[in-house]
């Protein structure tokens, strides 16, 4: 990949290197900053204009997309006007700079900032104080927020619920996904069956919540039930209930929410498993059959080991997903009836109760929970020799 | 031989039967919402959506005014050969033939008697009224079955729909554009700290976006960006960029080396190679990620809630729907129609571009 050595010898002087360093950083920042400013002007125009909504929408789209594309073009042209050696030094940063700058602003630096905020009380660190002043201010509470996160009853309830989400949500998504993948592989209706199971993937959590709220819709006994579940239950002689709000069986009422995510995610698991199963060589299966293995033995002794890698990927993906689950709980119960999870507590603390320090501490806990996956990803990357 | 054949038949029956059962279970929730969205308000509130299927039910064939018939509700009454007290009529009496039922509706003084027959029926009269109401910005005049009218406020899903579009399209294209440039640089250019930067991209893949919400909200407050499209474009760009860069890098770095090298020998610049060669060749990967990101942004609720939360003018479909759930949670005629309006575009994208979507999924990844 050493395509960019054609530009001749590098200028080794200290001045040259220092200048290159400054220019590279400058370029990386210039595009996002100018893009931001141009977009900001456009936004002000849109906000103040009384144009019909369709026009505003259209302008917003053209402005946003065109603005960014135009900037890349302009900056690249500027850099290409420079002497070849400087073009080669700086051009990569025109390409890669904006992405790195934005990632730094939106994800990398916030990790540190959230940690910093989490060391303070509900108002967060004082805005205009220096580092030392902030540490000395009475808003600084050290690790007290973390102590609270791990001891308060509401948080412990959220942790318990999240563990339920992770265990049941991921397991059943994987089981159903695998079941459908295996069955569809042997069926003549593979395409249509897979499409229909996969369809919920396109539906938002809010939409899915409404769909399931309708299924759980509750009318007092004696009235005609319009919710499917209560209809079935009453037809079979049972008592209608508001299932997700059924506190008597807490924490098991969480299962009625978890079902929603299983419904959404099984399709995702199915698609990945289906592709993995198709990769199993036919002669491997045939050899198993000739040796007299039955279908279950083939499934557990050949298929499962063969798709192990995919199994781990899918499982971790859904675990991370259920770890951060927010919308379903927020729309279905708002966290009442013993259904709070970490992400709803994070939202409630950060934005409803405006307790910035506490909210940030919860966010950090979420981050810590995904660190093993991050390390696994980085290790996988290091094993690839190609980079 | 016959045994093996029968075994195979049973096997196939088992496979297809189980599959059918799963497909039905998976489809019914969406079907329920879809069917209900076309039923009118009273119907949704009074009977389950499955009643649109043919079923047997008690249907009113005749209404009798007891006072016109000279019946005394305090004593024993005889109607069409059926006699009973008021209390008995109230719970319902069956005719001798058993094909009809007489039932007192209403109170003792002004009520009426209905003759009902148990017949096959469907509750399938559909209309688009729910959609009109949920899409309209103004109030909607609603004519009830008995002829009276009622004015109900509209739900302005049209505005929310356009807002979602104005958010989703740039929030899909901008990160792809930026990521494609970066992915190209990682794949085909040599520069200091290249590996370090890429490690950062990989590490950020799984970082939960919750970590960024509080600090970024502080920045946006400082920049007076809260409640604007720009804020949410930037946020989605930031949160989608790691995955976009990673996926596009995987694809772009796998492009045939000889082709790019011959372009460089011909004197093409990086920019030319990127725009004229790499972008067109990467179209499948770009499309895959575009669908991914589009669905993600369109269906997002949390980011919208945090960064657009305060401004009803810029409300998105997910926010609008959640607001209807909160304020009019039992108005199922609105919720069902609204849910479908919010789903129509993702579903169209999904069915139209399923192949690319699946390919994007298979590229395999986890998003923060």
* Chain segment A173-219, per-residue pLDDT in tens: 999 999 999 999 888 888 889 889 988 988 999 999 999 998 998 88
Contact predicate A261/A165, CB 8 Å: yes
Q: Could you tell me which of A189, A165, A210, A112 has the C-alpha nearest to residue B322?
A: A210
A377 to chain B, closest Cα gap in Å: 7
Q: Which two tokens stand for residue A361?
A: 């501490």
Burial of A39: CB neighbours in 10 Å, binned 0-12, 13-18, 19+: buried
Q: Does pTM surpass 0.95? A: no
Asked if residue B72 has pLDDT above 80, the reply is no
* Residues on chain B touching A381 (C-beta within 8 angstroms): 199, 202
Q: Which residue's structure tokens are 């559909």? A: B126
- Which carries the bigger pLDDT value, residue A174 or residue A309? A174
Look up the ipTM and state it.
0.85
* Residues on chain B touching A346 (C-beta within 8 angstroms): 210
Residue B297, C-beta contacts closer than 8 angstroms, at least 6 positions apart: B167, B168, B171, B172, B236, B240
B70 to chain A, closest Cα gap in Å: 32
Q: How far is CA A155 from CA A165, A255, A336, A344, A362, in A?
A: 15, 19, 13, 10, 9
Q: How far is CA A219 from CA A234, A236, A250, A329, B41, in A?
A: 11, 16, 21, 22, 16
User: For chain B, how many helices (H) and strands (E)?
Assistant: 16, 8
Contact predicate B187/B249, CB 8 Å: yes
Q: Which two tokens stand for residue A134?
A: 């902030």
- Which carries the bigger pLDDT value, residue B328 or residue A310? A310
Of B29, B181, B191, nearest to A211 by CB-CB distance is: B29
* Residues on chain A touching B350 (C-beta within 8 angstroms): 199, 201-202
pLDDT category of residue B365 using cuts at 50, 70 and 90: very low
Please name each of the domains of chain A with its CATH number.
Answer: 11-114 (no CATH), 153-340 (1.10.3720.10)
Residue B87, C-beta contacts closer than 8 angstroms, at least 6 positions apart: none
Q: How far is CA A183 from CA A21, A186, A275, B297, in A?
A: 58, 5, 13, 33
Max Cα-Cα span within chain B: 108
pLDDT category of residue A50 using cuts at 50, 70 and 90: low
Q: Could you tell me which of A323, A347, A322, A319 has the C-alpha nearest to residue A334?
A: A347
Q: Does A100 touch chain B (CB under 8 A)?
A: yes
Q: Which two tokens stand for residue B190?
A: 């040599």
Q: Could you tell me which of A239, A206, A223 has the C-alpha nearest to residue B45?
A: A223
| Chains A, B: CB pairs < 8 Å | 364
The interaxial angle of helices A205-216 and B283-299, nearest 10 deg, is: 50
- pLDDT tens for each residue of A331-361: 888 888 889 999 999 999 998 888 889 999 9
- β-sheet bridge partners, residue B141: B151
Contact predicate A214/B18, CB 8 Å: no
Q: Which two tokens stand for residue B130?
A: 């729910």
Max Cα-Cα span within chain A: 89
Of A65, A196, A212, nearest to B170 by CB-CB distance is: A65
A163 to chain B, closest Cα gap in Å: 17
Contact between B318 and A204 using a beta-carbon 8 Å cutoff = yes
Contact between A3 and B190 using a beta-carbon 8 Å cutoff = yes
Contact between A96 and B264 using a beta-carbon 8 Å cutoff = no
CA atoms of B147 and B173, how far apart (whole Å): 51
Contact between B228 and A53 using a beta-carbon 8 Å cutoff = no
CA atoms of B340 and B31, how far apart (whole Å): 11
Of A53, A99, A370, nearest to B159 by CB-CB distance is: A53
């Amino acid at each position: 990949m050493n395509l960019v050595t054609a530009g001749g010898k590098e200028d080794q002087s200290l001045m040259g290197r220092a200048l290159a360093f400054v220019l590279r950083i400058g370029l990386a920042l210039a595009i996002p900053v100018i893009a931001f400013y141009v977009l900001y002007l456009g936004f002000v125009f849109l906000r103040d204009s009384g144009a019909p909504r369709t026009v505003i929408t259209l302008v917003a789209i053209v402005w946003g997309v065109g603005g960014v594309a135009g900037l890349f073009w302009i900056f690249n042209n500027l850099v290409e006007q420079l002497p070849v050696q400087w073009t080669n030094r700086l051009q990569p940063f025109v390409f890669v700079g904006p992405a790195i700058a934005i990632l730094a602003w939106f994800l990398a630096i916030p990790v540190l900032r959230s940690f910093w905020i989490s060391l303070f009380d509900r108002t967060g660190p004082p805005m205009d104080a220096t580092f030392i002043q902030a540490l000395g201010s009475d808003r600084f509470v050290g690790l007290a927020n973390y102590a609270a996160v791990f001891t308060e009853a509401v948080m412990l309830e959220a942790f318990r619920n999240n563990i339920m989400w992770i265990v049941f949500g991921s397991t059943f998504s994987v089981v159903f996904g695998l079941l459908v993948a295996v069955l569809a592989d042997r069926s003549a209706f593979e395409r249509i069956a897979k499409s229909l199971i996969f369809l919920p993937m396109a539906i938002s959590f809010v939409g899915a919540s409404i769909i399931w709220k309708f299924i759980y819709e509750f009318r007092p006994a004696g009235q005609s039930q319009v919710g499917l579940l209560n209809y079935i239950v009453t037809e079979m002689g049972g008592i209608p209930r508001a299932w997700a709000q059924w506190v008597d069986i807490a924490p098991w009422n969480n299962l009625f929410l978890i079902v929603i995510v299983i419904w959404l995610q099984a399709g995702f698991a199915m698609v990945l498993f289906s592709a993995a199963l198709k990769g199993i060589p036919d002669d491997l299966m045939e050899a198993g059959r000739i040796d007299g293995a039955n279908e279950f033995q083939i499934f557990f002794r050949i298929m499962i080991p063969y798709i192990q890698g995919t199994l781990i990927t899918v499982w971790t993906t859904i675990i991370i997903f259920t770890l951060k689950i927010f919308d379903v709980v927020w729309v279905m119960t708002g966290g009442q009836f013993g259904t709070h999870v970490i992400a709803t507590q994070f939202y409630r603390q950060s934005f409803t109760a405006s307790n910035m320090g506490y909210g940030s501490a919860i966010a950090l806990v979420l981050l810590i929970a995904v660190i093993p996956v991050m390390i696994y990803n980085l290790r996988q990357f290091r094993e690839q020799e190609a980079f | 031989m016959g045994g093996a054949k029968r075994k195979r038949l049973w096997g196939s029956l088992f496979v297809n039967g189980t599959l059918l059962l799963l497909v039905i279970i998976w489809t019914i929730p969406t079907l329920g919402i879809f069917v209900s969205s076309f039923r009118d308000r009273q119907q949704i509130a009074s009977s389950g959506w499955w009643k649109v299927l043919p079923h047997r039910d008690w249907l009113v064939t005749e209404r009798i005014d007891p006072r016109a018939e000279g019946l005394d509700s305090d004593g024993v009454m005889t109607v069409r050969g059926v006699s009973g007290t008021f209390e008995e009529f109230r719970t319902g009496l069956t005719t001798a033939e058993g094909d009809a039922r007489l039932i007192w509706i209403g109170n003792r003084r002004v009520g009426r008697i209905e003759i009902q027959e148990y017949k096959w029926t469907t509750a399938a009269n559909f209309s688009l009224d729910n959609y009109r109401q949920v899409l309209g910005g103004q109030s909607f005049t609603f004519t009830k079955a008995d002829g009276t009218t009622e004015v109900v406020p509209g739900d302005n899903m049209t505005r929310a729909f356009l807002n979602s579009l104005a958010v989703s399209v740039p929030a899909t294209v901008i990160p792809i554009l930026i990521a494609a440039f970066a992915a190209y640089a990682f794949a085909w250019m040599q520069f200091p700290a290249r590996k370090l930067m890429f490690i950062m991209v990989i590490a950020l893949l799984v970082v939960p976006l919750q970590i960024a919400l509080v600090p970024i909200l502080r920045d946006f407050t400082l920049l007076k960006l809260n409640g604007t499209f720009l804020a949410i474009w930037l946020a989605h760009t930031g949160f989608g960029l790691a995955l976009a860069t990673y996926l596009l890098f995987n694809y772009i770095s796998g492009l045939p080396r000889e082709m790019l090298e011959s372009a460089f020998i011909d004197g093409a610049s990086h920019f030319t190679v990127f725009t004229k060669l790499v972008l067109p060749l990467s179209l499948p990967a770009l499309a895959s990620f575009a669908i991914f990101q589009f669905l993600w942004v369109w269906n997002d609720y949390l980011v919208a809630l945090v960064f657009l939360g305060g401004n009803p003018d810029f409300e998105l479909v997910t926010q609008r729907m959640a607001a209807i759930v909160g304020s009019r949670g039992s108005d199922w005629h609105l919720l069902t129609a609204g849910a479908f309006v919010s789903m129509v575009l993702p579903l169209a994208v999904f069915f139209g571009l399923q192949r690319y979507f699946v390919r994007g999924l298979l590229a395999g990844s986890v998003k923060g």
